[in-house]
Chain A
Amino acid sequence: MIPLNINGADHQIDADPDMPLLWVLRDLVGLTGTKYGCGIAQCGACTVHLDGEPTRACQTPVGDVGTARITTIEGLTGAAAEAVRAAWIEVDVPQCGYCQSGQIMAAAALLAENRAPTDADIDAALAGNLCRCATYFRIRKAVHLAARTLEG
């Protein structure tokens, strides 16, 4: 049994320690908001936070998580997260929406560190998050809007 703290709740997971956190979350815990896109840290669809750090769950063996607090899209809260979600809704970012859990996890982590990101900061922070619908133009707009909201 592997103990995990997911979105503030303690879980005991019966899994091979090699099993990627992505599949533990999706198939064993039933938190399907975290998406599978590539399995090799190329698309960012599986982005979760480990102690607040954006992390690719597909490349994180569950045995390596240890005591880190895992936050998924379902448990993402706080000022930055709320500002990001509101901005995403206001700018109407999502098309299919499949990549957006990962985009929002990455954007919230960026804003938690950098309250006034430039376009270049946004591009650098989100370059690992593919959106095949190419909602990038609106993602940039929405991150700026969220930053302005956070400034108050």
Chain B
Amino acid sequence: MDTAFLAGPRPAAGLDVSRRGFLLGAAAAAGGGLLVGFRRAEAAESGATDAAPVNPLEAYVHVRPDGGVTVLSAHFDMGQGSYHGLATLVVEELGADWTKVDVVGATGNTRAYGNLAWGGTAQGTGGSSTMVSSWRRYRTAGAAARMMLVAAAARAWNVPAAEITVDRGVLRHGADRRAGFGDMAAAAAALPVPAEVPLKAPGDWTQIGNGDLKRFDRAGKTTGRQDFTIDVRLPGMLTAVPVHPPRFGAKVKSFDAAPAKAVKGVVDVVETPRGLAVVADHTWAAMRGREALFVQWDETGAETRGSDEILADYTRRAAGAPDAWARQDGDLDGALAGAAKVVEATYTFPYLAHAAMEPLNAVARRAEDGVIEVWGGLQNTDTYHQAAARTAGVDPSRVRMHMMKSGGGFGRRGSPDSDVIIEAVAAAKALAWRAPVKMQWTREDDMAGGRYRPAYVHHMKAGLDADGNLVAWYDHIVGQSILRDVGFPLPDGAIDQISVEGSSTLPYAVPNLSVGLTTTQVGVPVLWWRSVGSTHTGYATEAFFDEVAEAAGRDPVAFRLSLLAEHPRHAAVLRAVAEMADWGGPVPAGRHRGVALHESFRSVVAQVAEVSVEGGTVRVHRVWCAVDCGVAVNPDVVKAQMEGAIGFGLGAVMGEELTLTGGVVDQTNYDGYTPLRIDAMPQVEVRILPSANAPTGVGEPGVPPLGPAVANAVHRATGKRLRRLPFARELG
């Protein structure tokens, strides 16, 4: 990739997603060719001090002299397909040849790469926002590049631009004029950037929405050629493993490095913000050295409670009144008092680990030009950039970040404390930058390293009137605030919307509805985990709704539909899944079905699960899934994300649980913490509802409905309500 794009960060200008905010700028790339990016129109017009130069290096598309097209991604790819999605937008408008397209992660330019779904103030990926953020800007970049290539060809051939056609990287005029993108790239770069860039009408799309399109980067993932951070190899590079305290919040009191240094291959033992690091010639030596190391920990202020104690406390507090209200409609108490029937239940959710297949890691070095370089899974791109600069003690303009694809992530690569990034930089700095250092957590470090999906308890009540109408709904959520835990200031009594999202946004029409929150203070570090608040609110609301429907004597689909008049997208998705599964039709002997519906990240997903239960063992045979995610940019990626989310969600509800005893994490590896394996994977059928709306989230929204759909089916099979996760606890 052209390092010209890796200039230091510029002041965030607060981009908005609207079209008016942009003017295009283009520049000749250092290596020749055409770059297309944007600059802020208003800034230039108003003469604001952060006005960009006329041709800023804020590029999204690089057309190389050899005809290749490199898309510079503002978003991190942890497997969800964001690189492919952005490439699709560019190829659609540019008319590029897929076989010549590549995508690289871009960093260091907030105004170009700021996440527009977050207001554009920082580059980062999360909340299933890639398409929300970049739907317009990457199409516009592709279209502008195409207009400039066409204009260059029109000049060279002395023909009207309107007569030039573009197809798969080739410009043509009539039968005898023909040029590849590369032939025109340099001339195009010298042309003015079009002020108005029209985009294709949806009816003209050939790439967006094309169900036959496959991921451009899949072949490298079948040959071992796809590199991740763990595969970064630099001349003279050393490998470090971290030494973390056994209890969260403890600190190093003293250590004896001598026995570790006596291990062959160990280079040094250095201090890091969170403990120590054993640095060695290779990973195995570092691991062996760590075994020999002797450390005494100062556990003053460390969290020493076990998860059972924590959850018992939550259960007690859930039975009382909430500290704050997230939503209050009507008169809950009156409605419950006057109800003919009250349903009440408590749902309990454990801590969960992300447990991505590539354990956390990052590589840091000081390059020959003195710039600090970092390689990693840069989900919180700008935050990590700033943290690396602070840790290295240099200005952010002296830091170059290399965004690698990661082997999964599910939220764990987006930790605002920049944990593994600063650990790598600190270790390299402690060695006086004499060698590049790869900081590689082992599976055990990753499992016990904290930043989990928080544990929660929901205490729920519903009231039905004499006719079986749902008149009251109460949901009291108790658990840690992710935002507060990662350092966002949240005053006491304030609602962390992440704790209640999905509960406070219950779509069903209930006249008297209260959602309350009690935020707890626990020393176990927590974080967003694929689908975030909806991981527990989706389960609690949809499993409880099934209890309420049963008490009302109503069919779970019909009862939901009767309360969704205000939410046509929800109703359409639910109807679609009912039709796919032939809900109400015959079910094979011994099989039982459950349904659930949930909106997260602006997408609505409904699922029907078909299960059998034998001797306490739940087997999920089939899952039908309907999704409304706006325009499906890559329908096959949407399907893959739904399939994967179903497997991910199923593993969690069946057997995943991160527990602590006396403050020490009990699970150390995939033997104790058990994601789904292939023998438990159901057959999956996905239907994407047609939509003309802008794209919404895809990576996460498939997770929340799976658990309650399965739980509701298990209830039909066994009469048992699964109110404590994972199921292994209740059924084992």
Task: Name the contact of B678 in the complex, choosing from A31, A88, A123, A133 (C-beta under 8 A).
Answer: A123
* Residue ranges of B at the interface with A (Cβ–Cβ < 8 Å): 78-81, 214-215, 218-228, 230-231, 233, 239, 264, 282-284, 355-359, 405-410, 442-443, 636, 640-641, 643-648, 650-651, 669-671, 675-679, 681-684
A132 near B214: Cβ-Cβ < 8 Å: no
B679 near A133: Cβ-Cβ < 8 Å: no
**Minimum C-beta distance from A119 to chain B (A):** 9
A95 near B80: Cβ-Cβ < 8 Å: yes
B230 near A32: Cβ-Cβ < 8 Å: yes
The secondary-structure label for the interface of chain B is loop
Given contacts A132-B355, A135-B640, contact A35 B407 (CB under 8 A): yes
Task: With CB as the reference atom, state the residue of chain A lying closest to B265.
Answer: A16
A126 near B678: Cβ-Cβ < 8 Å: yes
B282 near A130: Cβ-Cβ < 8 Å: no
A37 near B223: Cβ-Cβ < 8 Å: no
- Pull 23 A–B residue pairs with CB atoms less than 8 Å apart, ordered by A: A20-B284, A23-B284, A27-B282, A35-B358, A37-B359, A94-B79, A95-B640, A98-B356, A99-B407, A100-B221, A101-B224, A126-B678, A127-B679, A132-B408, A133-B79, A133-B644, A134-B648, A135-B647, A136-B676, A136-B677, A137-B683, A137-B684, A138-B640
| Among B225, B357, B644, B646: residue with most chain A CB under 10 A | B357
Residues of A within 8 A of B233 (CB): 30, 32
A95 near B676: Cβ-Cβ < 8 Å: no
Measured CA separation A100–B682 after assembly (Å):
20
Measured CA separation A135–B675 after assembly (Å):
13
Task: Name the contact of B79 in the complex, choosing from A33, A72, A97 (C-beta under 8 A).
Answer: A97
Given contacts A32-B224, A97-B407, A138-B640, contact A40 B646 (CB under 8 A): no
| Among A34, A74, A98: residue with most chain B CB under 10 A | A98
Task: Name the contact of A129 in the complex, choosing from B282, B405, B442, B678 (C-beta under 8 A).
Answer: B678
**Minimum C-beta distance from B440 to chain A (A):** 8
Task: With CB as the reference atom, state the residue of chain B lying closest to A135.
Answer: B644
A134 near B679: Cβ-Cβ < 8 Å: no
Task: Name the contact of A92 in the complex, choosing from B407, B443, B636, B671 (C-beta under 8 A).
Answer: B636
A99 near B357: Cβ-Cβ < 8 Å: yes
A1: CB under 8 A from chain B?
A: no
Q: A96-B407, A130-B677 are in contact. List 14 more A-B contacts (CB 8 A).
A: A31-B224, A32-B233, A35-B407, A36-B230, A36-B283, A74-B223, A84-B222, A89-B218, A95-B641, A95-B644, A123-B678, A133-B357, A136-B647, A137-B683
Measured CA separation A73–B290 after assembly (Å):
30
Task: With CB as the reference atom, state the residue of chain B lying closest to A16.
Answer: B264
Task: With CB as the reference atom, state the residue of chain B lying closest to A32.
Answer: B231
Measured CA separation A89–B676 after assembly (Å):
23
Measured CA separation A16–B669 after assembly (Å):
25
Residues of B within 8 A of A104 (CB): 222
Count, A-B residue pairs, CB within 8 A:
176
Task: Name the contact of A85 in the complex, choosing from B223, B283, B679 (C-beta under 8 A).
Answer: B223
Task: Name the contact of B218 in the complex, choosing from A92, A99, A134 (C-beta under 8 A).
Answer: A92
A117: CB under 8 A from chain B?
A: no
B643 near A23: Cβ-Cβ < 8 Å: no
Given contacts A34-B224, A123-B679, contact A19 B284 (CB under 8 A): yes
Measured CA separation A42–B444 after assembly (Å):
13
Given contacts A27-B283, A35-B407, A131-B357, contact A100 B677 (CB under 8 A): no
Given contacts A95-B81, A96-B79, A132-B357, contact A38 B669 (CB under 8 A): yes
A133 near B684: Cβ-Cβ < 8 Å: no
Residues of A within 8 A of B683 (CB): 137
Residues of B within 8 A of A16 (CB): 264
A140: CB under 8 A from chain B?
A: yes
Task: With CB as the reference atom, state the residue of chain B lying closest to A123.
Answer: B679
Task: With CB as the reference atom, state the residue of chain A lying closest to B81.
Answer: A95
B228 near A33: Cβ-Cβ < 8 Å: no
Residues of A within 8 A of B675 (CB): 130, 132, 134
**CB-based closest 8 A-B pairs:** A33-B224, A134-B647, A96-B79, A98-B407, A97-B221, A73-B224, A136-B681, A94-B221
B231 near A140: Cβ-Cβ < 8 Å: no
